[in-house]
Structure 1
């Protein structure tokens, strides 16, 4: 078994960075807690008041930031490997938008705003998968090519964005305002009741993610080489789309459509590891770091204004997208 020493070290450093950022966020607020106190509270030490602040009030949001960032990083790695294009992420292809449409249908048309997490999660999952199947079918022509998948996805995303706007405009004012805030991608007011279902589903998704991770390097070698190694190329591609969309839908259902983490995390991790292609583990670790840091900025960098984390990721992601396009143009 060959081990990439640099890749292992990069992943270890990213995990340490995610842990440090999470502890820093747990200690920051109206009542500041030192690093050591936060660590003690996490492991059952410190005072009861400190444990309540850390474990009950702040931890659900931070845990969600770590887990959702990792899920988005994995989803981005799957789609960038699938399309063989650094722009091939669920943000660009439109699967985020489709998951948002499914969630909006539940929230606004089926009176799901007052219900639990699960109806919204199902709506986001169904919306994302239906969008993925539509894009896949429209892009299919003797197989699915990455560039065609991206172009079709952008077109479907534009249509669904218009549908989402129409749904919000037609809704009751209070529901429309809540849906619009949620649609920006937010981790505000999250409790363990929101985090626990995400953790359970994330654990369940470990098996299909490992299944995909085993086959990704074979598909990266080309369809003919993958087929020679016994991979059923089109079936594997369809399964990868379902897994990637499921991860995106989980994140969308929990916090709304958080943009650009799935786009940036795999490419940043690839440049740090200097690997031939994107990798699942490094992308997950980088996604966790990006979302935790972005959430800290959203909470505390603008004084009393507590912004949705999606506003920060869009701002950072926009700059990253400009840089990525410039680098691609220079390379070509």
Structure 2
């Protein structure tokens, strides 16, 4: 016997979904996506425990739990002072990058689109390096300057890419051009600035969690908390944004406004994450695609993207700390080692599919 269809705002409930109705709102939840999110949460919890236990000195899981629960422990300094603040920044930044990448890829309808590819993180980076060059290096100021730089870069891409609508290939190609231009501006600032400041900025530009702590985590956590209602809206708006213009218009969806809102939210999240730990490249590119392939959904799941982004950053930073110990690599080096080949594979795959050229 066939199950009755459930009518939603955008049509009939797809197979494999359940409907949640908190209050007057309703949300479609993909069953497989919910199970994948639960699995990712378990893996992330395991990665967190390993991260806090492993280092120059090993701390037992029992003592780690004691520190987390606020109980007296001889390992309070190692876990609570050295590792936990850095881990907190990595978790928050990874989640922000994951959601930002999912939103930008949804708007562009292209897996090649991500904040670090289309110039957003480069804009945030250029603004931050400029602030360092002019002596504005306080932890409370830099994240907001990063947001301003990321928004400015995204606005520039949006203006040049808009031509009676948003075309995916034009959006990506113009974004790459803006990234190159902003990278040149950043290099100019590095060569003209003070030598010590330039060295500090170069370390920041690689994307590093070294010496990061609660000062960097606080603005990022604030933005993520404030953005929760917007992310709930985005989870619903994604369905409309993925439609073609004619279908969206027929359903009464104001597509341009939806896409602008999704892009703005993604830019803010990517920019504030960049301000906290630098441009950790390819996390925003990798996390949404990994989440989508695991969930097998038509649209990119935001929760799974956030969990995947956090997991990628935590595991990459753990490897960056331990692979060449006592030398610590920036976490951005590890994510680039994985992300760059993946990007080339995506480009080659699209060239084969469309017979040459990136679509």
TM-score by length of 1: 0.95
Task: Identify the residue that residue 112 of structure 1 maps to in structure 2.
Answer: 136
Task: Identify the residue that residue 86 of structure 1 maps to in structure 2.
Answer: 111
| Corresponding position: 1:50 with 2:75 | yes
Task: Identify the residue that residue 180 of structure 1 maps to in structure 2.
Answer: 202
| Corresponding position: 1:282 with 2:304 | yes
Task: Identify the residue that residue 292 of structure 2 maps to in structure 1.
Answer: 270
Contact 2:104–2:263 (CA under 8 A) maintained in structure 1: yes
Q: Distance in 1 between matches of 2:259 and 2:66?
A: 45
Contact 1:42–1:51 (CA under 8 A) maintained in structure 2: no
Q: Distance in 2 between matches of 1:179 and 1:7?
A: 39
Q: Distance in 1 between matches of 2:197 and 2:144?
A: 19
Contact 1:41–1:55 (CA under 8 A) maintained in structure 2: yes
Q: Secondary structure at the match of 1:193?
A: helix
Q: Distance in 2 between matches of 1:3 and 1:198?
A: 27
Q: Distance in 2 between matches of 1:17 and 1:56?
A: 24
Q: Which runs of 5+ in 1 are unaligned?
A: none
Per-residue CA deviation, residues 29-85 of structure 1 (Å, 9 max, x unaligned), is 12211223212321233x432233222221111111111101000000001110111
| Corresponding position: 1:72 with 2:97 | yes
Task: Identify the residue that residue 171 of structure 1 maps to in structure 2.
Answer: 193
Quote the offset at 1:242 in angstroms.
1.2
Kindly name which structure, 1 or 2, has the bigger radius of gyration based on alpha carbons. 2
Q: Distance in 2 between matches of 1:321 and 1:141?
A: 27
| Corresponding position: 1:95 with 2:128 | no
Name the Cα RMSD after superposition: 1.5
TM-score by length of 2: 0.88
Per-residue CA deviation, residues 9-38 of structure 1 (Å, 9 max, x unaligned), is 111111111111111111111221122321
Decide which moves more: 59-68 or 221-230: 221-230
Contact 1:27–1:38 (CA under 8 A) maintained in structure 2: yes
Contact 1:298–1:312 (CA under 8 A) maintained in structure 2: yes
Contact 1:10–1:272 (CA under 8 A) maintained in structure 2: yes
Q: Distance in 2 between matches of 1:331 and 1:139?
A: 24
Q: 1:325 to 1:151 in 2, by over 3 A?
A: closer
| Corresponding position: 1:13 with 2:39 | yes
Q: Secondary structure at the match of 1:3?
A: strand
